[in-house]
Structure 1
Amino acid sequence: MSLVHLANVCSHLQNASKARLGLTSIPSTNMLLTLSLALQTSGFLSSVTRGGLTPPRLDTLSSYVPEPVTQENVSTRRLWLGLKYYNNEAVLSEMSMISKPTKRIWMDADGLARIVRGKEAGFVKGLTKPGESMFVTTDKGILEARECVERRVGGMLLCRVL
């Protein structure tokens, strides 16, 4: 898992939402795909679509069939993300890394429970703002911190989204 790519994606999504883009693309990796689907499930993204270098049409996004991945086109694969806006404001306004490539932060279920309740655990501040989410990579995939507490699993803290 490359946290360098995740750091680039965090800043890219933050800049794309500030620029009021409706659709943006990121490199297609398994980790970024599962994080994007978790962001969509949490309500920060409107759509996640696999594709090539050209964006899918917005009007046919639900019936869009991507071209198959072959050895020749694997390097040009992209994830096309639809950004959400509500009352003329971006739903995803801030996205920042917690674990860095040089310092990975691991947390057990008890530490995550403290963070979810808004208290500090270790060096990590709690979730205090309304709508704030934290994503954790676990054995069960990438989950939101509240879901990790419910399932009693810990893992590496990835990013904080507001």
Structure 2
Amino acid sequence: MSLVHLANTCSHLQNASRARLSLTSIPDTKFHLKLMLALQNSGFLSTVIRGGPMPPPPHTLLSHPSSTDETAPIEPVTNQNIASRRLWLGLKYWNSAPVIEKMELVSKPTRRIWMDVEGIRRLVLGKKSGYVKGATRPGECVYVSTDVGILEARECVERKIGGMVICRVR
């Protein structure tokens, strides 16, 4: 897990949403995929599709994943093309405003912030916990990397799981 690449991804998503792009791509890593799926589950992204250097066809973006067209061949991942694999993300907008207003890292590459359940509970309640400000705005989400994957802070409190605080999205 590289937080340097995640910092680039956070600023890229923030800039892409400000530029009103409907589709953007980021490098395909396991960590990025888990975080983007968590963002999609929270409602910040409309689609997350693994693909190559070219954008996927529009009909795959609009259809349900189980109803994809079987005639379109899926390019297998090989050692020659693994560096060109991308995650294609569909950005969302509400009333002409981007859903992702700001996305910033909490843990930095030089200082990773680990919290137990009580520290995460303080964040969810809007209080400061250590170096981290609490979630004070409606719709603000804080994501935590745990042993069971990347979870939103409220879900960590429900499951009583601590971990490394990754980023906040509002």
**TM norm structure 1:** 0.97
Please give the residue correspondences for 1:75-154 in structure 2 after superposition, counting only pairs within 5 Å. 75-154=83-162
Identity of aligned pairs, percent? 64
> Take 1:67 and 1:53, find their aligned partners in 2: how far apart are those partners?
11
1:52 is matched with 52
1:74 and 2:94 aligned: no
> Take 1:79 and 1:68, find their aligned partners in 2: how far apart are those partners?
15
What do residues 38-67 of structure 1 show as CA deviations (whole Å, max 9, x unaligned)? 000000000000000000122332326642
> Take 1:150 and 1:27, find their aligned partners in 2: how far apart are those partners?
31
Instruction: Specify the code of the residue in structure 2 equivalent to 1:29.
Output: T
1:34 is matched with 34
Question: Number of aligned pairs?
Answer: 162
- Give every structure 1 segment of 4 or more consecutive aligned residues whose post-TM-superposition deviation is greater than 4 Å: none
> Take 1:22 and 1:3, find their aligned partners in 2: how far apart are those partners?
25
2:163 is matched with 155
Instruction: Specify the code of the residue in structure 1 equivalent to 2:53.
Output: L
What do residues 112-139 of structure 1 show as CA deviations (whole Å, max 9, x unaligned)? 0011011111111101001000000000
- Report SS of the residue matched to 1:99: coil
Unaligned runs of 5+ in 2: none
What do residues 95-121 of structure 1 show as CA deviations (whole Å, max 9, x unaligned)? 000000000000000100011011111
> 1:68: Cα distance to partner?
1.7
> Take 1:77 and 1:56, find their aligned partners in 2: how far apart are those partners?
12
> 1:77: Cα distance to partner?
0.2
> Take 1:102 and 1:119, find their aligned partners in 2: how far apart are those partners?
24
1:22 and 2:30 aligned: no
CA RMSD of aligned residues (A): 1.0
> 1:72: Cα distance to partner?
1.2
> Take 2:43 and 2:58, find their aligned partners in 1: how far apart are those partners?
18
Unaligned runs of 5+ in 1: none
